[in-house]
Amino acid sequence: MEAIFDQIVRATGWAILHSLWQGAIIYGVLYLVIQPVFKFKASTRYTIATMGGLLMLGSFLYTFTELFQWSVVSSEASAQSYWKQLPGLVPPAVPLTAVEYIEMLFPWLVLLYSVGLITQSVIFWKGYRKIQNLKNAVHQSVPKDWMIKLETLRTELGIGRKIGYYLSDKIQVPLVIGYIKPIILFPAMLATQLEMNQLEAIMIHELSHIRRNDYIFNLLRTLTETVLFFNPFAWLIGKMMDIERENACDDKVIQLTNAPLTYAKALLQLELLTNTQKPVLALAATGEEQHLYQRIKRITNMKTESINSRQKLLSIALTFATLISLAWVNPANGEKRQQNSPTVVKKVNQPKKRVSTPASDTLIYSSGKRVYVLDKSRDTIPGLQEININIPPIPPVPPLPPMSEMPATPPLPPLPPDSLVLNEIVSLSGKLANEVLRLQSDKSHDRAEISRLHSRIKQSGEELKKQNEFSGTKSEMGEIWKRR
């Protein structure tokens, strides 16, 4: 009995360790597969995540079974080899290997696992009893208009099982309970808090859970998390299943109602009304707060993508309509112009010839290298005759030579002074000089008077100097200007 217990501990310990790397590989593959690049639907991603969770649980159980059988066989072989040894022979001491050292810790590891497994089992049982109490409690039937709407939606979704619909004061979010005889519980306050179109979206969401058998798959997911509570990848896969399950139901709601904004408002209104957590095994419409935010964001993005697709289709339709209209209108306009035109222009492909028509009755019209001759002698204009004339091209105009620069104009000399002015200045200077000599000879005159006369003589000399810069007369100045 003790040997079997030791083998169970050993197999359980190795199964726990192997489950870690097995879960890492499975979760890594799932994480890559559900990426948007593969463009899987939410229902497909949920199925893949569910298979991954079941594969992880199956890997743990398979590893435990294989290791337990191998341990029993190895223990029997070691016992037979022991009895073959001679009595009194003691085997030599051998140091422990890494594997043997790890196996020495298995009893403590399995003890901790047993405590955790018991705790998770208690939580699982309490959640199961809670939803059973909710299911068996006395509830109020839904209104008649609700019942008609729910049965209509059940038929549209193709659900053959009979479903019970009730109102409950003990819950604050809609719940789906049961698999064989499922029921849907609605909070009693929804009758006054939600509009009918919002309530219809919530009904479709809950009915989608029943149609997809999400209750039984959620039960298996909870069982996996209970057995593999120590493995973080089991919880990550369970989280992935929750997200994709709700996304799949949201897609079904949008498919039937085509009103994503109304559905998003209904989910937000439900979140504002609730302040409690749903039971473990029940399926609620809202879920966790952070997940609800991501769902609302996803739903609103679906609305945007729907609008963009409709806009693209409308643009393509308008483009084709415009092209068809142009193709229809242009030929009609051409026919109309041809019917209303009084003249018909006809191109005559004939060799070059000279048209002999009177000059007064001939009109010549030139366009490029072609000349059209119109005969006016007739009452009606039958058409234009085309004459091909090879007109040689006009040679290019040679470039003009560069112009030489004009010489700069020298400044004009000052006008010549009058010879009479010079004579007056000279005469005045002589008189002033004689007056100075007379005053100097006369001792009775003041020196101030003599100084005044000297200054006048000096001033006259300066004026004479300025005027003498040009020695010619006005006649000579005129001759100079004529030569220029």
Instruction: Sort strands 370-375 and 385-388 into parallel, antiparallel or unpaired.
Output: antiparallel
Q: Where would I find the beta strands (DSSP E) of 190-292?
A: 283-284
- Secondary structure of the chain: what % helix, strand, coil (to 5)? 65, 5, 30
Enter the pTM of the model: 0.57
Find the largest Cα–Cα distance for the chain.
Answer: 180
pLDDT in tens, the chain (484 residues): 677 888 899 999 999 999 999 999 999 999 999 888 888 999 999 999 999 999 999 999 999 999 887 655 555 545 444 434 444 444 555 566 777 878 888 999 999 999 999 999 999 999 889 988 888 887 888 999 999 999 999 999 999 889 999 998 888 889 999 888 899 999 988 878 888 899 999 999 999 999 999 999 999 999 999 999 999 999 999 999 999 999 999 999 999 999 889 998 888 888 887 755 555 555 555 555 567 778 888 888 765 444 444 555 555 555 555 556 545 545 545 544 455 544 444 444 444 444 444 444 444 445 555 545 555 444 444 444 455 556 666 777 677 666 656 566 666 555 455 454 555 555 666 666 666 666 666 655 556 666 776 677 677 666 655 655 544 444 544 454 444 4
Q: Report phi then psi at 386, rounded to 5.
A: -105, 130
Q: Report the DSSP beta bridge partners of residue 141.
A: 166
Q: Are 29 and 52 in contact (CB under 8 A)?
A: yes
Q: Report the DSSP beta bridge partners of residue 370.
A: 367, 388
